Amino acid sequence: MVVAMLAVATPLVAQQQMGAMNDPTKKIQGSGKLPDGWVARFDPPRVRPGQAPPPAPQLTEVNVVTMGSGLHFTSGPAAIYYNTKDVATGEYTVEATFSQRKSVQHEAYGIFFGGSNLQDSTQSYTYFVIKPCHSQCGNAGITLGEILISRRSSDGRPQAIVPLTHDDAINTDDPKDGHATNKMTIRVAKDSVHFLLNDKPVRTLAKSQVGPTDGQAGLRINHNIDVHVDWKGVKK
């Protein structure tokens, strides 16, 4: 009852800050390098109430290595990752398959497109991510599997185009060990953008809804993620 009363009495922003403090970023020791051609852009650091902004995240706080035909990500702070050759215009397809060996809990991963100015405060891109567990992962009675499509147009908070919602196309956490594999695809057509999961359409949006589609494409990996990615990049 006390916790519930505090939640009601505490303003939303303060609740979000409290949530951030209860979800610390794991300490990862990385090499400080990315595979050839790849670049990272970390999310702006979260500021705790009454404290100065923390130092900007560094590449040593994530570990990204080439493994087989794909890349293995262990985070660390949330970031987008992209290969500078994956710039697309007009009609194209972006595709990647994500394989987790254990649950990533309430966190998400996925792909982005239409990126520009990715290394400054005017960064802009649209991303499509999934949560194979759930925002409330671990709570009894929830239906697993959520999608989210959002647009980031600055260092501020991204704006949801399709808010977090359940979708049956997601391969959710295995009940025994939490592993899951999901193929994610974005197809940019003449006037629309098609979002697919495991080759099943989940959303079709007008280009006007998602913003610019020409630009950099890549991966979005939230914090505290351990996942292998078979990145197919951009195909015309």
- Which pLDDT does position 46 carry in this prediction? 73
Tell me: pLDDT of 26 over 50. yes
Alpha helices in the chain (DSSP H): 2-9, 12-21, 207-210
Tell me: pLDDT of 156 over 80. yes
Tell me: pLDDT of 222 over 60. yes
Residues paired with residue 113 on neighbouring β-strands, in sequence order: 126
Residue ranges per structural domain of the chain: 28-235
CB 194 within 8 A of CB 53: no
Structure tokens at 211: 């913003």
Give the per-residue SS3 of 180-201. EEEEEEEEECCCEEEEEECCEE
- Which pLDDT does position 51 carry in this prediction? 83
For the domain made up of 28-235, give the CATH fold. Answer: Jelly Rolls (2.60.120)
- Which pLDDT does position 4 carry in this prediction? 44
Tell me: pLDDT of 138 over 60. yes
Which residue from 216, 218, 211, 174 is spatially nearest to 193, judged by alpha carbons?
A: 211
Render pLDDT for 78-99 as a digit per residue (tens, 0 to 9).
999 999 999 999 999 999 999 9
- Which pLDDT does position 55 carry in this prediction? 87
Q: How far apart are CA 225 and CA 173, in angstroms?
A: 14
